[in-house]
């Protein structure tokens, strides 16, 4: 079967790629486009390591067909920092040691950013339920939840 031609936007850049109809967005990001920041922990939508946003909606890129990107906007971990400036969540994760091995971190950050866009003032419970699709085996989530809450507070402060 012929490959599909897809025109999309990735991290703000117009992007075109060819893919097999069965290929996932994660496969194309990692193998086709060299954007290996999104990780494959399971390939079945259960770990969140592959989290990206599709038109500002949080999705598991392992569950999305690459062809579905046509005409839409994709954002990945690679687009989160602006040049040398880390996004506040990235900075806070470093300051609060909210990562140990770091394999869950890209997905966790993408998910957390999406949370704060939807809800700038989340409770601890809201943070925990929003991130429930992102597995971390290293940290016990404590420092991750604290980092997200602290960032939210700082961002609210900065917005005032």
Partner 1 sequence: MNEMSNKWIGQSTIRPDGAEKVTGRAEFAADTNMPGMIWGSVLRSPHAHARIVSIDTSKAEAHPGVKAVVTAQDIVDFPVDTPVPLGIQDMRWMCRNIMAREKVLFHGHPLAAVAATSEAIAAEACKLIEMEYEVLPWVIEIEDAIKPDAPILHEYLEHDGKPSNITGTLEHKLGDVEEGFAQADVIIERSFTTRPVHQGYIEPHACLVSVAADGKTTIWSSSQGQFMVRAMTAMLTDMPQSDIRAIPAEIGGGFGGKTIVYLEPVATMLSKKSGRPVKMVMSREDVMRASGPTSGSMSTVKIGATKDGQIVAAEGTFYLQAGALPGSPIRGAAGCGFAPYNIPNVHSVGIDVVSNRSKVAAYRAPGAPIGAFAVESVLDEVAEALNIDPLELRLRHAAREGTKAAHGPTYPLIGFVETIEAAIEHPHYKAPLGKHQGRGVASGFWFNAGGESSAQVNITEDGNVVVTTGHPDIGGSRAAIANVAAELLGIDYRRVSVLIGDTATVGYSNLTGGSRVLFASAMAVTDSAGQVITTLCERAAKIWDIDPDAVTWEDGEARPAGDNAGQFEPLSLADIAAQATQTGGPIGHGAQLNTTGAQGGFATHICDVEVDMDLGIVKVLRYTSFQDVGRAVHPAYVEGQMQGGVAQGIGWALNEEYIFDKDGHVDNPGFLDYRMPVCSDLPMLDAVMIEVPNPAHPQGVRGVGEVPLVPALAAIANAVHNALGLRFSSLPMSPPKVLAALEMPEAAE
Contact residues for ligand FES, defined by CB under 6 A: 40-43, 45-50, 60, 62, 99-104, 136-139
CB 61 within 8 A of CB 29: yes
CA distance 1 to 3: 6
* Token pair of 53 as six digits: 């946003």
Among 58, 59, 106, 152, which residue sits at the site for partner 1 (rule: CB under 8 A)? 106
Which one, 40 or 150, has the nearer CB to ligand FES?
Answer: 40
Among 3, 140, 153, 156, which residue sits at the site for partner 1 (rule: CB under 8 A)? 140
76 binds partner 1 (CB under 8 A): yes
> Of ligand FES, partner 1, none, which one does residue 62 interact with (CB within 5 to 8 Å by kind)?
ligand FES
Among 21, 57, 97, 118, which residue sits at the site for partner 1 (rule: CB under 8 A)? 97
CB 127 within 8 A of CB 115: yes
* Residue 14 CB, nearest approach to partner 1 (Å): 21
CA distance 150 to 160: 16
Give the SS3 label for residue 53.
Answer: strand
36 binds partner 1 (CB under 8 A): yes
In Å, what is the CA distance from 44 to each residue of 40, 112, 117?
Answer: 9, 20, 26
Give the SS3 label for residue 15.
Answer: strand
Beta-ladder partners of 16: 7
44 binds partner 1 (CB under 8 A): yes
CB 66 within 8 A of CB 28: yes
> Of partner 1, ligand FES, none, which one does residue 60 interact with (CB within 5 to 8 Å by kind)?
ligand FES
* Binding footprint of partner 1 on the chain (CB under 8 A): 30, 35-44, 46-47, 49, 76-78, 80-81, 86, 90, 93-97, 99-106, 109, 124-125, 127-129, 131-146
């Amino acid at each position: 079967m012929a490959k599909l031609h897809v025109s999309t936007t990735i991290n703000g850049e117009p992007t075109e790629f060819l893919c097999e109809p069965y290929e996932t967005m994660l496969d194309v990001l990692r193998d086709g486009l060299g954007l290996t920041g999104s990780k494959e922990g399971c390939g079945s939508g259960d770990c969140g390591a592959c989290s990206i946003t599709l038109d500002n909606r949080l999705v598991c890129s392992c569950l999305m067909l690459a062809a579905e990107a046509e005409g839409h906007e994709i954002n990945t971990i690679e687009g989160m920092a602006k040049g040398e400036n880390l996004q506040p969540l990235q900075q806070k994760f470093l300051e609060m040691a909210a990562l140990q091995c770091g394999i869950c971190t890209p997905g966790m950050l993408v998910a957390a950013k999406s949370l704060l866009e939807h809800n700038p003032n989340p409770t601890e419970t809201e943070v925990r339920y929003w991130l429930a699709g992102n597995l971390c085996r290293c940290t016990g989530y404590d420092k991750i939840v604290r980092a997200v809450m602290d960032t939210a507070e700082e961002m609210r402060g900065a917005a005032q």
